[in-house]
Amino acid sequence: MNNYVNYISDDHLLHCIGNLHKAYLKAKNNINKKNFYSNKVDTIKLTFDSRFNNIDEESLIQSEILRQIDKSINNSIGTFHEQILGGIKGFEVGNLSGFDIKAKDDTLFADIKNKHNTMNSSSAEALFQKLARFANDYKKAKCYWVQILAKSSFCALWRGDINGKEYSHSRVYKISGDRFYALLSGQEDAMLQLYKVLPIAIKDYLESLEKNEKIAVNSALNEIQSETKSSKRTILEQITFENYSYYLGFNKL
């Protein structure tokens, strides 16, 4: 008898939550000053954000750091769903095999995207071609583009024009997250079950950790503030100087 959902074991659910927790900690710990600067900080936008939204510079940089953490975590959320679905009896995770989820009897292959709008036309074309190849290689297989967070609940053949070419295949589908959870588990409310139980399962997982386990905290803001003490610049000026001192005149900040 499972305590959480009835289509995967409690141990598997807690293991998936643990993997995602590690991804959160890694993302937070990775945001030091060097990583924060790695994609170049748009200090002109941050200046507008600060003035127009009436946000002090320290809070603004904390928000920008959280935005970078969130960007990193989005990929991990997709992996969480892959791992959950791969724990359902009869299915497995792809592990870099060209698919995210497959049926062990090769009757299903799927590529999972967390959101419906994460692909441009070239990516969509490549994905359709990949799923069509699986369908052609495995004559009994149905192949799915899974959109965990879709704009509606659906399961339909994937047909349409992509980059000016018309694509269709009798066994290539697109499907919303709720329908895919239902398809693999045989339970219509499978995704709802997961949603409702997550707060309880996360609480149980966190309580199982060692009490003295350190939570990783990003150091970027502290490092920048330390530099401002000697440079006498504001936080935004310091970030601008350290990112763009090679621009004409910016070395005089």
Single pTM value for the model: 0.82
Which two three-digit tokens encode residue 74? 């989005």
Which 3-state string (H, E, C) describes the chain? Answer: CCCCCCCCCHHHHHHHHHHHHHHHHHHHHHCCHHHHCCCCCCHHHHHHHHHHCCCCHHHHHHHHHHHHHHHHHHHHHHHHHHHHHHCCCCEEECCCCCCCEEECCCCEEEEEEEECCCCCHHHHHHHHHHHHHHHHHCCCCEEEEEEEECCCCCEEECCEEECCEEECCCCEEEEEHHHHHHHHHCCCCHHHHHHHHHHHHHHHHHHHCCCCCCCCCCCHHHHHHHHHHHHCCCHHHHHHHHHHCCCCCHHHC
Which two three-digit tokens encode residue 245? 């001192």
Euclidean distance between CA atoms 4 and 23, whole angstroms: 22
Cα dihedral 86, 92, 98, 99, rounded to 10, equals -50
Q: Which domains are delineated in the chain?
A: 11-73+202-253 (no CATH), 88-187 (3.40.1560)
Predicted confidence pLDDT, tens digits, the chain (253 residues): 789 999 999 999 999 999 999 998 888 777 888 888 988 899 999 999 999 999 999 999 988 888 888 887 888 999 999 999 999 999 999 877 889 999 999 999 999 998 877 788 899 999 999 999 999 999 999 999 999 999 999 999 999 888 888 889 999 999 999 999 999 999 999 999 999 999 999 999 999 886 545 555 668 888 999 999 999 999 999 999 999 999 999 999 9
Euclidean distance between CA atoms 74 and 183, whole angstroms: 24
Q: Are strands 160-162 and 165-167 parallel, antiparallel or unpaired?
A: antiparallel
Determine contact, residues 173/143, Cβ cutoff 8 Å: yes
Q: Are strands 155-157 and 172-176 parallel, antiparallel or unpaired?
A: antiparallel
Determine contact, residues 56/235, Cβ cutoff 8 Å: no
CA angle centred on 200, ends 196 and 201, rounded to 5°: 100
Euclidean distance between CA atoms 253 and 231, whole angstroms: 9
Euclidean distance between CA atoms 141 and 138, whole angstroms: 5
